[in-house]
């Protein structure tokens, strides 16, 4: 039985949250373990910022739980011990659903560390199931690989994703595009899947959409754009813009597209690779938005991004955090978090 058979659906991220979940970093899994303290400070900033708006549970390994319990004194911050290999809960955590009766459920996707890029990932593949068991939330086991950062929904039947990620041979090589689309419809209760082409230049997730575009409301999409023809993101973002301009959502509405200017290109001095800086990797919280900003050469685009979001969401407080603190590990605020909508638990 699929979630759609019981009228479960994935709400839009801006729907009211019961709480947020986030995993604490693991030094052994990091690309740059020498930066562990800096990354932990970045995670602490994210956690404390979210706690200004709603409760948050920090998933910790047993060796970190006592220290974290002492370090976070806020009653809105809970420490939850679940063993894990890595810290990007958006991708290995459950996707929460709610039905017409207000009952919660969760999808337990298979996880293979972004196409087998980082070993081990055995504990990460168990996190969603263990969390749902702890919460006493009904679980639907999806027999294919999927990452939460690879799709967005509008809560009214439309899903946004990229071909680069979902059709990558390192995820579900045995499935066709049509089969993947049908599975997304069955597990998330969406009616239309919009396939963008590629994700941002240098994105090691193979093109997660949460760095590229997101719904601001039904019929309204925020899209990070590059206007420099010499930049690797120019063709990528302009192609996706043209695609969205021709598209409609599941309700037949053409999209209002709101552009956000990308920050200047920044290269990781340790690897020489491009860092995937994105303002679209923000996170909705109750009454606010947690927005990564990057400073330095990005000061102007930081200001423009905050201004745009303030205009699009005048009822929300835009809470900025230092996006450079965790970006060298490959992600940002949205990648670290997973929202649990308001609803009833109990299997």
**Which residue numbers are catalytic?**
335
Write b or e for each residue in 46-79: b if 16 or more Cβ atoms lie within 10 A of its Cβ, otherwise e.
Answer: bbebbbbbbbbbbbbbeebbeebeeebeeebbbb
Q: How many Cα atoms occupy the beta-carbon half-sphere of 120 within 13 Å?
A: 7
Angstrom distances, CA of residue 276 to CA of 203, 273, 323, 330: 6, 9, 11, 7
Q: Which residue has the tokens 């009454």?
A: 287
113 burial type by CB count under 10 A (0-12 exposed, 13-18 middle, 19+ buried): buried
C-alpha 44/C-alpha 292 separation (Å) is: 14
C-alpha 306/C-alpha 139 separation (Å) is: 37
How is residue 87 annotated by DSSP? S
């Amino acid at each position: 039985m699929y979630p759609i058979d019981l009228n479960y659906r994935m709400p839009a991220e801006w729907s009211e949250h019961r709480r947020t979940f986030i995993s604490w970093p693991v030094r052994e899994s990091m690309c740059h373990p020498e930066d562990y303290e800096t990354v932990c400070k970045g995670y602490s900033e994210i956690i404390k910022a979210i706690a200004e708006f709603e409760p948050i549970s920090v998933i910790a390994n047993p060796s970190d739980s006592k220290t974290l319990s002492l370090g976070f004194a806020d009653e809105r911050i809970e420490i939850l011990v679940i063993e894990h290999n890595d810290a990007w809960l958006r991708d290995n955590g459950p996707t929460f659903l709610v039905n017409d009766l207000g009952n919660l459920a969760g999808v337990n996707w298979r996880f293979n560390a972004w196409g087998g890029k980082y070993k081990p990932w055995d504990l990460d593949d168990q996190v969603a199931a263990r969390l749902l068991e702890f919460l006493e939330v009904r679980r639907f086991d999806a027999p294919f690989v999927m990452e939460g950062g690879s799709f967005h929904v509008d809560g009214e039947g439309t899903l946004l994703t990229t071909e680069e990620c979902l059709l990558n041979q390192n995820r579900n090589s045995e499935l066709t595009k049509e089969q993947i689309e049908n599975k997304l419809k069955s597990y998330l209760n969406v009616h239309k899947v919009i396939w963008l082409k590629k994700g941002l230049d240098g994105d090691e997730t193979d093109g997660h959409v949460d760095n590229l575009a997101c719904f601001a409301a039904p019929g309204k999409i925020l899209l990070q754009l590059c206007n420099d023809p010499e930049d690797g993101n120019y063709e990528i973002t302009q192609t996706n813009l043209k695609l969205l301009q021709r598209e409609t959502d599941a309700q037949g509405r053409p999209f209002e597209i709101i552009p956000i200017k990308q920050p200047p290109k920044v290269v990781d001095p340790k690897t020489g690779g491009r860092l995937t800086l994105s303002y679209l990797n923000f996170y909705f919280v109750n009454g606010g938005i947690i927005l990564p900003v990057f400073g330095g050469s990005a000061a102007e685009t930081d200001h423009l991004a905050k201004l745009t979001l303030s205009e699009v969401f005048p009822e929300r407080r835009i809470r900025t955090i230092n996006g450079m603190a965790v970006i060298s590990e490959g992600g940002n605020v949205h990648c670290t978090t997973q929202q649990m909508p308001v609803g009833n638990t109990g299997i």
